[in-house]
Structure 1
Amino acid sequence: MLTSTDSINQTLLERLAVYRQKGLLRQLRIADEAIDFCSNDYLGLARSSQLKQAIQHANAEHSTLRTGATGSRLLAGQTTLAQEVEQELALFYGTESALVFNSGYDANIGLLACLPQKGDTLLTDELIHASMIDGARLSYATRHRFRHNDLADLKAKLEDASRLQNGQIFVAVESVYSMDGDVAPLRELADLCDEYGAALLVDEAHATGVYGSENGANGEGLVAALGLKDRVLARVHTFGKALGVHGAAVAGPAVLRDYLINFARPFMYTTALPPHSLLAIRCAHDQVRADSSALQQLHHQLTYFRGQVAEKLPGSQWSNSQSPIQCLIIPGNDRARRVAAAAQATGLDVRAILSPTVPVGQERLRLCIHAFNTIDEIDRLVDVLQKALAETNTL
């Protein structure tokens, strides 16, 4: 006799079978031995022996600290170390305050779910990250999407919101978009927000460590690079990408920090990061501040890669990206998978991004260029793509 658990298991198997038949089934795959052209470790800090040693030294110096936070920040998780790290982050990002979250996903959900309230309007770029979408779904505000980086469409929706709503207006974007690698027109967005009295919220996940003031040497993000810090209400900086560690922080005015402490549920109701994670965050920022060589190397390798693409893949289609995220558009899930498989067969960690994750016809290889990728590795990647694209008739 079938139990209720058996019935549910069968339902799950059937749902997975549908995904498998469509070629969309996701699986976990270890690629430690492959050459990395897929991770968000843009500066190579996640594999940096210097950073690892700094973290080990910091842990040794703080050997009396507990191994875990043992509670939320509102309970046992608030420590002198957490307070000090947040003060250091506020200085690094040039803002009044910073509040650490356990991940960028938590930070985006917490920010967007609690900041726009019922009676407010939330306007989001149609290509924002899943974490921002999920946070927006939890908000009681009226939400409208505007076409990606389309200032005219946003202006029209701001006009409607200012005419029809009495509450606050919020605009949520990414500074560097995770799936296309293109950047938001932040200056123009800030101008529009000023014009209509809207608050601008910017996810800096893929800009943190890669862009910043003083010609990008410090890595505070694209908002800082453009001198817009005082015109953005909240910036979300994540540390698990270019900074090579874990966690995130929302940077902004002190009143925003106080508000999030009281209303952001992913902050209020989760066990805080352990001390060793806070020390790792500190060490990663110290290294980025002190040494810009990895960032300079990243931009050098990126320039070389784009030059090789222009020379050897002249008929290929790429997203409009100047960032380390370089996307080769290969329409069709099967074709994108075949090109990715050809690269993987030669020891390159290259991943296909398929529909429905991206729109039909926009399937792609999402390639990430890193400071540690050698010229020989980049040449090998371009040569493999050239051959695979010719074989699959995608050029």
Structure 2
Amino acid sequence: MLNHLNHFQEALDKRKANQTLRILKPKSEGIDFYSNDYLGFARNKDLQNLLLKEINDNPHLLSGSTGSRLISGNSTEVIETEEFISKEHKYASALLFSSGYNANLALFSTLPNRHDTIIVDEKIHRSVHDACKMSHARKLKFKHNDVKDLEQILKRQKENCYVAIESLYSMDGDFAPIEEITEIAKKYNAFLIVDEAHAFGVFGYGLVEKYQLQTKVLATVITYGKALGSHGAAIVSNEIIKSYLVNFASPFIYTTAAQDIQWRSIKTGYEFFKANKDLSLKLQRNIKIFHQQNIKTPSSNSPIQAVLIPDNHRLKDLQETLLHEGFLTYAVFSPTVKEGTERLRICLHSFNTEEEIIGLTKIIKDFI
């Protein structure tokens, strides 16, 4: 048995030698510049108290769902939350999932068939790539945010095409030219699917809502583990797509439904967001303060800032230096990103202070 495990150990040893071995560690104490809690909802005492009241008034929310939604797990709570979400996003329907990963897995493994083509931005989230492996469709990549390259690929296709993009990309923190891509997809009768994981809450309900593209985007993925400080995701689309996923999407059919507290947390989070728009303004202020420190990054008004440090060992040194000073950041090593594009990924939040931002950037500037 041990002999059969040798190649696993060799791969782990190689990562350890490269200082890129992933291990699970307790949550660190420090100044948060690495979490996706952009608006501070996960730490917000007022929101926590609202949720505590919901639980005290409705203790059944904590009970397990007892089965998949097609058997015993389809509660009134989840149905009402989906109806609420669809109205908020101005779509005909919403279908909730336990995570954004599962939502993307369901979409791209289910909708395209063996005669179709999925065209993905080369920097699309790993969940989409994994879903494409489950699909019988052909997958093609277009150059990141390159509308002309996308059009050249679409021109050559004869069957149905699905185009997959993120509105705000998680590694570089840059935005998709979503309006131009929408028009190109429409021109070639392609189905556009947009992942709003990092834009939702930071920019209202996301860029699809901001530019009123609901009738031109087949499906939008909204996730709740980031700006909303909760967990789970929704696919907002039309009734046909929802019914098709309920009938044919394995990640939906063959999983136990989440507890009702998850759905209630999402709905409560929406209501809290609408009542606290000032938190988004505070975040935008902090993004501006960061850029005033003159550190070169690929993005401007995004909460995600990537500082390129094209060497795994130097990047590790910078991250450890920052940690020693109490700053929590996230280093993205190759091969997670291409060699030569290793970066320190900084997430800005509404709760970061000007002093903290200046302290962080001073260390980075001294290092680079």
Paired residue type of 1:174: E
SS at match of 2:270: helix
Deviation beyond 6 Å, 4+ runs, structure 1: none
Select the residue among 90, 95, 118 that pairs with 2:114.
Answer: 118
Q: How does 1:134-213 map to 2 (within 5 A)?
A: 134-161=130-157, 165=158, 167-211=159-203
- Residue deviations 1:196-243, cap 9 Å, x none? 0001000000011111xxxxxxx2111111121111000000100010
| 8 A contact 1:203–1:235 mirrored in 2 | yes
- Give the aligned partner of residue 340 of structure 1: 319
Q: Which runs of 5+ in 2 are unaligned?
A: none
Select the residue among 91, 95, 101 that pairs with 1:99.
Answer: 95
Shift of 1:335: 1.3
| 8 A contact 2:284–2:301 mirrored in 1 | no
- Give the aligned partner of residue 243 of structure 1: 228
Shift of 1:134: 0.6
Q: Which runs of 5+ in 1 are unaligned?
A: 212-218, 390-395
Shift of 1:269: 0.5
The question of 1:62 aligning with 2:47 is answered: no
SS at match of 1:231: coil
SS at match of 1:358: coil
- Residue deviations 1:100-135, cap 9 Å, x none? 001000000110100111101111100000001111
Q: How does 1:348-363 map to 2 (within 5 A)?
A: 348-363=327-342
* Further displaced range: 359-368 or 22-31: 22-31
The question of 1:307 aligning with 2:292 is answered: yes
- Give the aligned partner of residue 289 of structure 1: 274
> CA 1:361 to 1:66, structure 2 compared with 1: closer, same or farther past 3 Å?
closer
- Give the aligned partner of residue 299 of structure 2: 320
- Give the aligned partner of residue 258 of structure 2: 273
Distance 2:110 2:308 in 1: 36
> CA 1:368 to 1:65, structure 2 compared with 1: closer, same or farther past 3 Å?
closer
Distance 1:209 1:8 in 2: 47
* Further displaced range: 123-132 or 56-65: 56-65
- Give the aligned partner of residue 241 of structure 2: 256
Distance 2:268 2:57 in 1: 13
Distance 1:95 1:337 in 2: 44
SS at match of 2:59: coil
Select the residue among 25, 29, 36 that pairs with 1:29.
Answer: 25
- Give the aligned partner of residue 298 of structure 1: 283
Select the residue among 350, 360, 371 that pairs with 2:350.
Answer: 371
- Normalization by structure 2: what TM-score? 0.97
Paired residue type of 1:280: S
Distance 2:367 2:196 in 1: 34
> CA 1:210 to 1:68, structure 2 compared with 1: closer, same or farther past 3 Å?
same
Shift of 1:66: 5.8
Distance 2:367 2:244 in 1: 52
| Identical-pair percentage | 39
* Further displaced range: 14-23 or 236-245: 14-23
Distance 1:337 1:35 in 2: 18
Shift of 1:321: 4.2
Select the residue among 83, 90, 102 that pairs with 1:87.
Answer: 83
Distance 1:31 1:298 in 2: 23
Shift of 1:330: 1.0
| 8 A contact 1:116–1:139 mirrored in 2 | yes
Distance 1:62 1:146 in 2: 49
Q: How many residues align?
A: 368
- Residue deviations 1:32-62, cap 9 Å, x none? 4110000000000000111111111112222
Distance 1:353 1:133 in 2: 19
| 8 A contact 1:59–1:279 mirrored in 2 | no
- Normalization by structure 1: what TM-score? 0.91
> CA 1:383 to 1:66, structure 2 compared with 1: closer, same or farther past 3 Å?
closer
Distance 2:4 2:56 in 1: 49
Distance 1:259 1:54 in 2: 35
Shift of 1:282: 1.1
Distance 1:264 1:182 in 2: 31
Paired residue type of 1:340: Q
Shift of 1:30: 2.9
Distance 1:98 1:287 in 2: 20
Distance 1:127 1:275 in 2: 34
- Give the aligned partner of residue 35 of structure 2: 39
Paired residue type of 1:278: W
Paired residue type of 1:267: F
Select the residue among 8, 15, 27 that pairs with 1:12.
Answer: 8
